[in-house]
Amino acid sequence: MPKKSFLQNTLQRRLLSEQPEGILVNDSKTERVLVCLSPSPSNESVILVASKMARAFAAELTALYVETPTLANMRGEDRERLKKNGKLAEENGASLSYSYGDDVALQIAQFARACGATKIVIGRPNYRRSRPFPKSDIPQRLIQLIPELEVYIIPHFAPPVAGKKLKKQVNVSGASLLITLGVLCGATLIGLLLQRLGFTVANIITIYILSVLLTSFLTESNVCGIFASVLSVLVFNFFFTEPRFTLSAYDPGYPITFLVMFIASLLTSSLTARAKEESKLNAQKAYRTEVLLTASRNLQQAESAKEILSETATQLLKLMGRPVLLYPVSDGQLQKPLLLSPKGFDESEIKKSASLISERDTANRVLVSSTQAGATTKNDSDARFWYLAVRGNNSVHAVAGIAMDRGERIGEFERGLLLALLGECGVAMEKQRLRENQTALAMAAQQEKLRADFLRAISHDLRTPLTSISGNAEMLLTDKMPLDEEQKHRLYTDIFEDSEWLINLVENLLSITRMDDRSLVLNLKPELIFEVIDEAAAHAARRARNHCLKVLEGDELLMAKVDTQLVVQVLVNLIDNAVKYTPEGSDIIISAHGEGKRVLVSIADNGPGISDESKSKLFNMFYTAGGARGDAHRGLGLGLALCRTIIKAHGGEICVSDNLPHGAVFTFSLVREEALPDAQTTGLGG
């Protein structure tokens, strides 16, 4: 192919300079070395040089392979060498990427811009074959397309092997040959018909050129187009030139006609074949883009690492059409794998293979080394699955396994798409890890704020009763001022109430601490619920002496499975809350009844009630509702939050509602226990 003109290179440089929307350019100062892969024997030395360069500059290493229509059908030997070179690049810390297009230099330049490469390492033989039309120099065009990047050219000094030429592998199927012959026969019949109708030779030549185009379009091999070009000239000479039915021609101008006809047919065949290859590459690009965009969109919608890995396994199953095994990684260890298998596979055999210790050992090898292992590789090649790492920036987030039959290989296109999909998963996992870290930092900051608020609140709320106790005790001890019995009794009562308030506060704090540390073990036993209520009412009787505290009668055999001490604490907190927020003389009524498999306990008052705004926050830690009774409302806002925690630990729910015509009703549920026939005589709940 002739070298591209200066104008073409200039236009391509302008296209490169206008970065398309959606391409992210690496603007960071991080060095990135891009090494170009090829099936050439000399590519190994190019990879090693790039690896040394990456280590020297502390740079990231990326290996790129550009598949062209010519290389798409390379020989098996070349394909194996390309695979070996790709593995060598991975072993030296490179991340593999694939691109598709006819213009190798342009593809490399576009990829280098997109990934933010700062240096490009590419190989070039140090000898030239004598060609009438020499191939374009890829390194030289790279320098022209991206002059701002450093391009390192590694020469290969080995001369070509004497007497041995590299030839393309020619694969022509019998069906393609039959199509070629059939099209030429059809063109000949049409030509004979046109000749009988009086059309000129020029029209018949056009029919043969059209037949060559049709042959190139219908057959897979380019050889058929060339064969049709040669054969069309011979058939035309045989049937339509004088003397007919011979390969001779009387007219001295016919050789020129044959030459023009051959060149026109050959060009038509070549252009058609090129258009087919480009159409195929464009279809592959479109499919690749669609798969990656779908995967990226679904991965972005995932809200947890588990959802990301599940979506990745689903996409791998759709892409590969074979069983997929995905090991999540947590704390540097493989977790229980996710196995998906399409229809048509022996699921029991796949599960049996996936459960083998040797398979997990192979996956562990990938986790430790961050390289491929298992089927199709040299490491544990007897494995049933081909294992690949899902990598983030500095760690492996998962290990993916693809079921492979012995000796089976996948194409470079599928391989590139697979690696790109795993790369998308790695990016999504890295983003999820960052989100979790940010959430943890936000929670830590919130906990620190709560801690500061708690210390500030507790220091204030403890000071008030302690100061009161200290002052009252001092007055009783010093006798600085004469006190009658009624005044002394009032001081004793204040000291007792303040100490009771402190005891209740400390009990709530201890319970919350035990709940937060998850060191609280519930001592659940079947208890008569009204005995638990009576015990709580007795505890709260002194605090509620200025209120009318009542327990409504109900089913005496009503039982629930509870930790008596904790449920008593819940009831005491709810009674204490009603005392605080209702005026003296208000009614506080406790009731209980069974409802299905639940026991519902209610504490109702006829006070001013609770606003709708406060109801939504009432059970939050440190929340206290406003009121008019000043000192009576002192508290940290822990009681109701503790009630909710204890009731949830019992498998129940707690809520607040309005009491008509005014007041509030707190209701919580407990798991009901069937009453025993002799429940009253055995004294359960004592």
pLDDT at 8: 46
- Structure confidence by residue, pLDDT tens digits, 185-198: 998 899 889 888 88
Distance separating alpha carbons of residues 210 and 214, to the nearest angstrom: 6
User: Is residue 654 pLDDT above 50, yes or no?
Assistant: yes
pLDDT at 636: 60
**Under a CB-based contact definition with an 8 Å cutoff, are residues 102 and 281 in contact?**
yes
Q: What DSSP state is assigned to residue 678?
A: T
Query: Quick one: what percent of the chain has pLDDT higher than 70?
Result: 83
**Under a CB-based contact definition with an 8 Å cutoff, are residues 375 and 386 in contact?**
yes
pLDDT at 672: 92
From the list 573, 563, 535, 567, the residue with the least C-alpha distance to 551 is 535
pLDDT at 675: 63
326 DSSP β-pair partners: 338, 400
Q: Is there a shared CATH topology between the 302-429 domain and the 502-682 domain?
A: no
User: Domain segments of the chain: what residues?
Assistant: 6-156, 174-280, 302-429, 439-490, 502-682
What SS3 state is found at 76? helix
**For residue 487, what are its two tokens?**
């005044």
Residues constituting the chain? 686
User: Is residue 9 pLDDT above 60, yes or no?
Assistant: no
pLDDT at 618: 84
User: Is residue 319 pLDDT above 50, yes or no?
Assistant: yes
- Structure confidence by residue, pLDDT tens digits, 579-638: 988 999 999 999 999 999 999 999 999 999 888 888 888 887 767 765 433 343 455 667
**Under a CB-based contact definition with an 8 Å cutoff, are residues 73 and 171 in contact?**
yes
Mean pLDDT of 113-125: 86
Query: Which has more pLDDT, 676 or 250?
Result: 250
Q: Does domain 302-429 have CATH number 3.30.565.10?
A: no
pLDDT at 486: 86
pLDDT at 629: 37
pLDDT at 80: 81
pLDDT at 601: 96
Mean pLDDT of 495-511: 79
Q: What are the Cα distances from residue 342, in Å, to 67, 321, 360, 418, 427? A: 30, 7, 21, 17, 26
- Structure confidence by residue, pLDDT tens digits, 72-105: 667 778 878 888 888 888 888 888 887 777 788 8
User: Is residue 314 pLDDT above 70, yes or no?
Assistant: yes
Q: Does domain 6-156 have CATH number 3.40.50.620?
A: yes
Q: Give residues with Cβ within 8 angstroms of 334, minimum separation 6.
A: 327, 328, 360, 363, 364, 367, 399
Cα 329 to the chain's mean position, in Å?
A: 13
Lowest pLDDT segment from 165-169, 204-208, 239-243, 417-421? 165-169
Owner of token pair 């004294």: 683
130 DSSP β-pair partners: none
From the list 102, 71, 266, 85, the residue with the least C-alpha distance to 169 is 71
The pLDDT mean for the chain works out to: 80
Name the CATH topology of 502-682.
Answer: Heat Shock Protein 90 (3.30.565)
- Structure confidence by residue, pLDDT tens digits, 263-277: 887 888 788 777 877
User: Is residue 641 pLDDT above 70, yes or no?
Assistant: yes
Distance separating alpha carbons of residues 614 and 616, to the nearest angstrom: 6
- Structure confidence by residue, pLDDT tens digits, 426-485: 888 888 888 888 988 888 887 787 677 667 766 766 777 888 888 888 888 887 677 888
Distance separating alpha carbons of residues 227 and 211, to the nearest angstrom: 12
- Vertex 22: Cα angle to 16 and 25 (nearest 5): 60
**DSSP H stretches of helix in 250-371:** 254-301, 305-320, 347-354, 357-369
Cα 439 to the chain's mean position, in Å?
A: 17
Q: What are the Cα distances from residue 643, in Å, to 502, 523, 566? A: 18, 17, 9
From the list 619, 620, 669, the residue with the least C-alpha distance to 649 is 669
What SS3 state is found at 306? helix
Q: How confident is the model at residue 573 (pLDDT cuts 50, 70, 90)?
A: confident
pLDDT at 157: 58
The 3-class secondary structure across 472-533, one letter per residue, is: HHHHHHHCCCCCCHHHHHHHHHHHHHHHHHHHHHHHHHHHHHHHHHCCCCCCCEEEEHHHHH
**For residue 509, what are its two tokens?**
């704090």
Query: Quick one: what percent of the chain has pLDDT higher than 90?
Result: 15
pLDDT at 453: 67
- Vertex 41: Cα angle to 37 and 43 (nearest 5): 30
pLDDT at 23: 37
Q: What are the Cα distances from residue 264, in Å, to 219, 234, 562, 579, 596? A: 19, 14, 95, 104, 91
Q: How confident is the model at residue 532 (pLDDT cuts 50, 70, 90)?
A: very high
Q: How confident is the model at residue 517 (pLDDT cuts 50, 70, 90)?
A: low
- Structure confidence by residue, pLDDT tens digits, 381-400: 888 898 998 888 778 889 99
- How many CA atoms are closer than 13 Å to the CA of 663, on its beta-carbon side? 20
62 DSSP β-pair partners: 34, 95
Distance separating alpha carbons of residues 418 and 322, to the nearest angstrom: 13
- Structure confidence by residue, pLDDT tens digits, 136-149: 578 888 888 898 88
**DSSP-based helix, strand, coil % in the chain, nearest 5:** 55, 15, 30
pLDDT at 653: 94
Side chain identity at 331, as an amino acid letter?
D
User: Is residue 511 pLDDT above 80, yes or no?
Assistant: no
User: Is residue 207 pLDDT above 60, yes or no?
Assistant: yes
pLDDT at 551: 93
User: Is residue 34 pLDDT above 90, yes or no?
Assistant: yes
Distance separating alpha carbons of residues 401 and 158, to the nearest angstrom: 40
pLDDT at 526: 93
Lowest pLDDT segment from 7-11, 242-246, 571-575, 604-608? 7-11
Give strand ranges (E) for 88-145.
95-100, 119-125
